[in-house]
Structure 1
């Protein structure tokens, strides 16, 4: 996740932010759902284990993890891709995106596997 630790992707209705410590409690709440764990082939983890996993993912060189947040671009906003600091605290987590990198970007055999989880429906 080092490659995206300072990357935020902003669209009109969603924002992708790096998975950080402040997201762990909500993420753990989602993953307490047996149905969601089954759909994502995930094992149940304690909250402490979830924090440990987030720290591990944060230094991973072959995985990028973003939290998907719902966002409503203000009507007066015309600049795409920007989000004011005060708006960031108003984002609502709704899922995550994981990108698993295989090989190096400059190699012919480079592959990226993407997993998207929507945990909260609007």
Structure 2
């Protein structure tokens, strides 16, 4: 989606930025990991295919993705964005007849960043974005049965288990965002700041050149 191509979201621990071409080489290196391939049910791609995938996430109207950056490292203007990358988070619309339904995926690719509450913060930030910018009313998460950490995280965020597919070895969890859920979520995430990505990048570059 192009809706977020100039959007930066700043939380307590992370900064979410659009998935751009300069992020692809680091992302490509991540996806060589057999562990990440298994966790994300992905096949390894060539670098050229990865660039094609990045363009599709930017252009297609049914996909929205952000790259997750370590906020502390990102605050160091001497570091390039790709040096601050820790994972990604995606929303995609799975039913053309129901644009209020979306699947959400999150990947913390850097092992040293797992177990620190980053996944929970990023997921809440992305749900808020989906609710307020894309009018999403129901979120689904499809998670491998052996990924108990992710299953537990989504359940703590009040996702309910709705089905288990033994063929694909995954569980589907759902969160319906009614008015009370939306109010509580937005209140809890009120600290999140939305900024202009282009302006922020220009400011970081100016700081480097000074």
Same fold judged by TM-score > 0.5?
yes
Partners of 2:69 and 2:87 within 8 A in 1 = yes
TM-score normalised by structure 2 residue count: 0.47
Structure that is richer in helix per residue: 2
Unpaired segments ≥5 residues, structure 1: 74-82
Segments of 5+ residues of structure 2 without an aligned counterpart are: 114-210
Cα 1:88–1:58 change in 2 (3 A) is farther
Equivalenced residues, count: 111
Structure having greater relative contact order (Cα 8 Å, sep ≥ 6): 1
Q: Distance in 2 between matches of 1:108 and 1:39?
A: 27
The structural deviation recorded for 1:92 is 0.7
TM-score (ref. length: structure 1):
0.78
> What is the alpha-carbon root mean square deviation over aligned residues?
2.7
* CA 1:87–1:8: 2 relative to 1, 3 Å: farther
What CA distance in whole angstroms lies between the structure 1 residues aligned with 2:57 and 2:12?
27
Answer yes or no: is the 8 Å Cα contact 1:102–1:110 preserved in 2: no
Q: Which has the larger radius of gyration?
A: 2
| Residue 91 (structure 2) aligns with | 99
CA–CA distance in 1 between the matches of 2:98 and 2:44? 37
Runs of 4+ in 1 over 2 A off after TM superposition: 86-91, 101-104
